[in-house]
Structure 1
Amino acid sequence: VVVDIGGNIGDTALLLHLLNPSARIASIEPVPETYFYMLWNLEANRVPLLSISSFQNPALPGVLPINAGVSADGRNITFLIAPGWSKKAKDAALAKNWRHANKRGYSQNVTVATIRASRLMNVLKLPVTLRLAMLKIDCEGCEREAMTELADVIKHSNRLAGEIHGHIPHAIRGKQGMPIQKNITDTSTRGCGATWERCSREELFHKLCYGHAANTMFECGVPL
């Protein structure tokens, strides 16, 4: 089982399905337009689409698409959308502070429901202690609050991959970003090689942990 937080247009889910056709993949994408493209891409590539009930059956591989966000408390979140960058939606509470936000013309918004991160496995109707083949988190800043709530899921994941968004300004990181600092440190113990000091200096990484612009990518396996 794979959980993909920040499914975008379905590229990760599609790739994982092609690499492992027997996998069950839950792909979570909050923005309705982007979610539509996810469904389109999965359908166009003949990927089986699962429901919550069929997702429970190990004999039924495919992708469970979910149109929702992930947050620490399950609140509704308003996303800003740039029509010219339609796959670049941002949490409105953060987007106005991102360095490139004004350049991309975030002129539209949409409010969506979110799943409380600590209840994610319950929503998927999976055992809390189920060992995931992979957990991917690339959610344009939601990792600042979701990763701490996902601590148990992370602990039971064979592989962890995602992106820490350094565009969140230091003022916000100082107030809300401490869980990220802890979880970046935790990824280091998983073999990622990333540290908070490196991430805060916005250095570039190679091998298993690398970054671009002010973001840090991470990918780690089970510790020895």
Structure 2
Amino acid sequence: MWLFRYLFTNLYRAIQTPNGRHLLWLFFRYAGRPRHQSGMIPFLHYRFQVPDALSFVWQFKEIFADESYRFQTDSAEPVILDCGANIGSSLAYFRQNYPKARIIAFEADPDIGAVLSQNLTSNRIEGIEVVNKAVWVNDEGIDFGSGEADSASLFSETNRRRVPSVRLRDYLLRELRVDMLKIDIEGAETDVLMDCHDALAHVRNLFIEYHAYIGHPQTLGAVVQILEENGFRYYIDSNQSRIRPFINHRYRGNDVMDLQLNIFAYRP
């Protein structure tokens, strides 16, 4: 049994839960589809329009199978700010598990934002304020590259354009308490967190997807310093499993980004 668990850890974990078994079905059914082709995928009791099947399957793994965004709260109506809501998978999870939550969702990419709104409407996921603007350090707009699937970022040169922005700090200061702040904004996270440094005291749980782009400084130290100075405990996880990292300097063969980490910060 222990040898089996060592050799087939991910498979062993997956078969332990209904959502894990559903993940295996999604992998077999959709992960082999051609990349970057839009289509409809049914999962659980939802039907989502997705721009890329493989990216969606990985989203399902992180959000529904692993439940990476699950948090504890004593609030009857928790406040959730989802920065980088993409096509709405995380919003479906939050609404399902925190039915009375007040949720504000931000999505910078206009095309992905349209898919997000369609998925919410068609699946009757209600009561979510959608802000189709980039989360940034001001409301003056920002240059943004729309990459394929979920690769859009400040550093992408593909289909680069100016998109409207909002200052996250303003939204945080309007709230007395934020139960969950999710930040998955493809390279803008360090600048935004530095701007929000003095506005995080009432945030209970904070998820950050940290990115480092080739040719740009790595800023993980600055992010960790902000967390420590605001009294968070944190856990840092990477699913890269990079073999021979002194030789392999790429994130999954990526020519743009060389590091991605998931940072989970919470109040002790």
TM-score above 0.5: yes
Matched, 1:187 2:237: no
Residue 29 of structure 1 corresponds to 107
Q: 1:113 aligns with which of 149, 164, 168?
A: 164
CA-CA distance at 1:187 after TM superposition: 3.4
RMSD: 2.1
Q: Quick one: which of 115, 129, 140 aligns to 2:186?
A: 140
Candidates 178, 202, 216, aligned match of 2:261: 216
Q: Following the alignment from structure 2 to structure 1, what is the Cα–Cα distance between the partners of residues 235 and 160?
A: 37
Amino acid at match of 1:192: Y
- Cα displacement (A) at 1:63: 0.9
Match of 1:2 in 2: 80
- Out of 119, 128, 131, the position equivalent to 1:63 is 128
CA contact (8 A) 1:30 1:67 kept: yes
- Per the alignment, residue 81 of structure 1 pairs with 146
Asked if structure 2 preserves the Cα contact closer than 8 Å seen for 1:81 and 1:88, the reply is yes
* Match of residue 210, structure 2, among 147, 164, 168: 164
- Cα offset for 1:46? 0.7
Matched, 1:40 2:91: no
Identity within the alignment, %? 23
Unaligned runs of 5+ in 2: 1-78, 241-250, 252-258
Alignment deviations for residues 49-71 of structure 1 (CA, whole Å, 9 cap, x no partner): xxxxxxxxxxxxx2110011122
Higher Cα radius of gyration:
2
Structure 2 residue matching 1:192: 3-state secondary structure: strand
- For residue 156 of structure 1, report the CA deviation from its aligned partner: 1.1
Cα offset, 1:13, TM superposition:
1.4
Considering Cα pairs closer than 8 Å and 6+ residues apart, tell me whether 1 or 2 has the greater RCO.
1
Which amino acid in structure 2 is aligned with residue 183 of structure 1? Answer: V
Cα contact 2:86–2:112 (8 A) shared by 1: yes
Question: Secondary structure of 1:12's match?
Answer: helix
Residue pair 2:189, 2:208 contacting (<8 A) in 1 also: no
- Counterpart of 1:102 in structure 2 is none
Q: Deviations for 1:29-87, whole angstroms, at most 9, x for unmatched residues?
A: 01111001111111122111xxxxxxxxxxxxx211001112223332222223xx243
Which residue identity is paired with 2:164? Answer: A
When the two structures are aligned, how many residues end up with a matched partner?
Answer: 171
Does structure 2 conserve the Cα–Cα contact (< 8 Å) formed by 1:31 and 1:68? yes
* Offset from partner CA, 1:71-116 (integer Å, 9 cap, x none): 223332222223xx2432122xx225xxxxxxxxx2x233211112
Change (3 A) 1:25 1:38: same
Deviation at residue 144 of structure 1 after TM alignment: 2.1
Partner SS, residue 38 of structure 1: helix
Are positions 1:95 and 2:156 aligned together? yes
Contact 2:190-2:223 at 8 Å conserved across structures: no
Equivalent residue letter for 2:162: T
Q: Structure 1: which 5+ runs fail to align?
A: 49-61, 97-105, 195-204
